[in-house]
């Protein structure tokens, strides 16, 4: 790695526009050699567009990109890699039926024998203290191990600059700690790292500096170690961050939502089977379900919402009513609303207007249909109310769902379900892809809904989110549910071990937690 330069990466007035949107407006900042630099901003601030230009996926309309002091043109990712730029994306591009070695070979630009490649992979693994077996089939690996494949693939290029886009969103706390050690090792050897994350406590722990984007412009810079997570969030949003108020006098009632011995076979070769899921949620309670992605969260959402039915009616109960054999329409009739993880195509129809998307799930509870005829005015009014209450950035209720940014569509979908005041709300990844300010607002709306007596189930990979708003929680791993934890008494280590697959009685979990502290 070349360390004999004053500046590894420099952007000078980089500008990129799309029809109707100025994504990046004369962005300028620098990253020195061996530095870990954060790029912070709300959703839609322009972070992804910026790194795509650095990596050659997009081209700037104006401005200059400099690497090691030289102005460069980066026509495509292959050219970026040849210039010493590597990138690890948030979503992995791996073939599950192939080995680690085969997947890495597919991502390289040079022709190299498998024997030579394996030798180089093992050298990188040893150099950076990474545990990974080249001949393992990818489908047998944990999410953390799969991420290491992407990292090794980037490290084989001996990069001078490594771009990391939300790298910890699917990792356990223990895997995050291991990743940070790898990145610090890389930086110590002279590699510069451009790091994007919404998890501001991670930025504090890892990064040497940060540039803050708002509305496509650089609006500030800071030393994360001299800032709090809150102060950085307020720099990002340009205002005061809302505190989530649970309310000290909130009273929990009896069991409102009960899941009893829910077992669902996995679909396809890689589907996760649900094995004897049991939990209950009281009136006014928020119940969290943590877990690393791919451990049955989607299957659980489908089974709870009614998209996948049970053979036994009593596996899912709302206020004592057996719902297990009912589909989504009847479950909604009895008061169960749901928000899936995937926004486009599942939570909303991209080509439908926001009004039509409101009709899809709220038509009965909001009285939009009389004798089979849709009351268009009521539907439009409801869509407008969602837009206003949840601060959805759009030109109006006639806009298509597909025209909204991911964060704004998430706000609309969450608002559409919350404003129906359901008896039970099941939501997967409620703040996925939204900025700190919007996330706080959504959290407060969920707390307010619980305060009105709803039972809420939040399925999330974000532990901070669950610890902030939930009363009790459990962990799902390989389709099995852990014991229930009181959030006030739960520790990050204990939850992390459960996310990694440590199940069993409380004593064995405690012993494993103590062992992790010693290690």
pTM score of the predicted model: 0.71
pLDDT for the residue numbered 294 = 76
Range of the domain at 400: 347-420
pLDDT in tens, 431-482: 876 777 788 889 999 999 999 999 999 999 888 889 989 999 999 998 999 9
pLDDT for the residue numbered 471 = 94
> Which DSSP string corresponds to 291-335?
--TTSSHHHHHHHHHTSS--SSGGGEEETTEE-TT--HHHHHHTT
pLDDT for the residue numbered 341 = 86
Radius of gyration of the chain (CA): 24
Looking at residue 109, which CATH number applies to its domain?
3.40.50.300
Torsion of CA 321, 325, 328, 332, to 10 degrees: -10
Distance (Å, rounded) from C-alpha 192 to C-alpha 40? Answer: 17
pLDDT for the residue numbered 514 = 41
Is residue 271 one of the residues assigned to a domain? yes
Does residue 148 sit in the same domain as residue 274?
A: no
Distance (Å, rounded) from C-alpha 382 to C-alpha 319? Answer: 27
Does residue 368 sit in the same domain as residue 510?
A: no
Is residue 382 one of the residues assigned to a domain? yes
Is residue 2 one of the residues assigned to a domain? no
Q: How far is CA 223 from CA 176, 203, 220, 427, in A?
A: 21, 10, 11, 35
Does residue 402 sit in the same domain as residue 444?
A: no
Does residue 157 sit in the same domain as residue 247?
A: no
The last residue of one of the domains, among 386, 405, 420, is 420
The last residue of one of the domains, among 188, 222, 237, is 237
Does residue 76 sit in the same domain as residue 205?
A: yes
pLDDT for the residue numbered 168 = 77
Does residue 190 sit in the same domain as residue 303?
A: no
- Count of C-beta atoms within a 10 Å radius of residue 71: 10
Closest CA to 454 of 349, 318, 331, 320: 318
Is residue 33 one of the residues assigned to a domain? yes
pLDDT for the residue numbered 248 = 64
Tally the domains of the chain: 3
pLDDT in tens, 323-351: 999 999 999 999 999 999 888 889 999 99
Residue 270: phi and psi, rounded to 5, are -120, 10
pLDDT for the residue numbered 246 = 76
Contact call for residues 305 and 318 (beta carbons, < 8 A): no
Closest CA to 377 of 388, 386, 387, 367: 367
- All residue ranges of the chain with pLDDT < 50 are 503-519
Distance (Å, rounded) from C-alpha 57 to C-alpha 48? Answer: 10
Is residue 363 one of the residues assigned to a domain? yes
Is residue 342 one of the residues assigned to a domain? no
Q: How far is CA 281 from CA 88, 173, 191, in A?
A: 39, 26, 48
pLDDT for the residue numbered 11 = 96
Distance (Å, rounded) from C-alpha 323 to C-alpha 331? Answer: 7
pLDDT for the residue numbered 283 = 96
Does residue 373 sit in the same domain as residue 473?
A: no
Residue 178: phi and psi, rounded to 5, are -65, -40
Is residue 330 one of the residues assigned to a domain? yes
Does residue 209 sit in the same domain as residue 248?
A: no
Does residue 322 sit in the same domain as residue 368?
A: no
Is residue 4 one of the residues assigned to a domain? no
Does residue 40 sit in the same domain as residue 92?
A: yes
Does residue 327 sit in the same domain as residue 256?
A: yes
Does residue 410 sit in the same domain as residue 267?
A: no
| Cβ neighbours for 372, distance < 8 A, ≥ 6 positions apart | none
pLDDT for the residue numbered 170 = 64
Determine whether 56 is exposed, middle or buried from the number of CB atoms within 10 Å of its CB (0-12, 13-18, 19+): buried
The last residue of one of the domains, among 237, 268, 291, is 237
Residue 3: phi and psi, rounded to 5, are -110, -5
- Beta strand 455-459 pairing with 480-481: unpaired
């Amino acid at each position: 790695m070349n360390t004999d330069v004053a500046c590894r990466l420099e952007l000078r007035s980089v500008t990129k526009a799309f029809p109707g949107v100025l994504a990046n407006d004369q962005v300028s900042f620098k990253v020195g050699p061996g530095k870990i630099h954060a790029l912070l901003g709300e959703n839609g601030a322009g972070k992804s567009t910026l790194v795509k230009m650095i990596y050659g996926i997009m081209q700037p309309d104006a401005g200059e990109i400099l690497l090691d002091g030289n102005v460069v043109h980066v026509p495509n990712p292959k050219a970026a890699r040849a210039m010493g730029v590597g990138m690890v994306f948030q979503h992995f591009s791996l073939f599950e039926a192939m080995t680690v070695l085969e997947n890495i070979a597919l991502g390289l630009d040079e022709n190299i024998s498998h024997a030579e490649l394996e030798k180089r992979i093992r050298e990188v693994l040893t150099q950076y203290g990474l545990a990974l077996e080249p001949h393992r089939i990818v489908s047998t690996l944990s999410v953390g191990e799969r991420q290491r494949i992407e990292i090794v693939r980037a490290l084989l290029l001996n990069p001078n600059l490594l771009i990391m886009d939300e790298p910890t969103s699917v990792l356990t706390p223990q895997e995050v700690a291991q990743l940070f050690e790898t990145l610090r090792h890389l930086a110590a050897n002279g590699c510069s790292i451009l790091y994007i994350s919404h998890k501001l406590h991670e930025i504090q722990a890892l990064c040497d500096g940060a540039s803050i984007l708002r509305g496509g412009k650089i609006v500030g810079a800071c030393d994360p170690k001299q800032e709090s997570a809150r102060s950085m969030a307020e720099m990002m949003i340009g205002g005061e961050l809302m505190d989530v108020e649970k309310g000290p006098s909130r009273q929990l009632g009896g069991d409102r939502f009960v899941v009893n011995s829910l077992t669902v076979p996995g679909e396809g070769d890689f589907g996760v089977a649900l094995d004897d899921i049991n939990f209950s949620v009281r009136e006014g309670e928020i119940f969290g379900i943590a877990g690393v992605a791919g451990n049955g969260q989607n299957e659980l959402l489908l089974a709870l919402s009614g998209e996948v039915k049970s053979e036994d009616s009593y596996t899912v109960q709302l206020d004592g009513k057996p719902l297990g054999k009912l589909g989504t329409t009847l479950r909604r009739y009895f008061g169960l609303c749901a928000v899936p993880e995937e926004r486009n195509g599942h939570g909303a129809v991209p080509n439908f207007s926001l009004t039509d998307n409101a009709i899809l799930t709220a038509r009965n509870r909001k009285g939009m249909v009389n004798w089979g005829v849709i009351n268009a005015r009521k539907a439009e009014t409801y869509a407008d109310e969602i837009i206003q209450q949840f601060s959805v950035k759009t030109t109006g209720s006639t806009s298509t769902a597909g025209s909204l940014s991911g964060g704004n569509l998430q706000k609309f979908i969450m608002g559409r379900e919350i404003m129906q005041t359901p008896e039970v709300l099941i939501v997967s990844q409620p703040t996925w892809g939204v900025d700190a300010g919007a996330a706080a607002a959504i959290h407060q709306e969920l707390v307010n809904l619980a305060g009105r007596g709803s039972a809420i189930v939040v399925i999330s990979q974000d532990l901070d989110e669950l610890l902030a708003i939930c009363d009790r929680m459990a962990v799902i791993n390989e389709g099995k549910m852990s014991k229930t934890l009181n959030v006030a008494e739960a520790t990050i280590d204990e939850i992390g071990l459960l996310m990694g697959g440590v199940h069993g009685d409380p004593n064995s979990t405690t012993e494993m937690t103590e062992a992790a502290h010693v290690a």
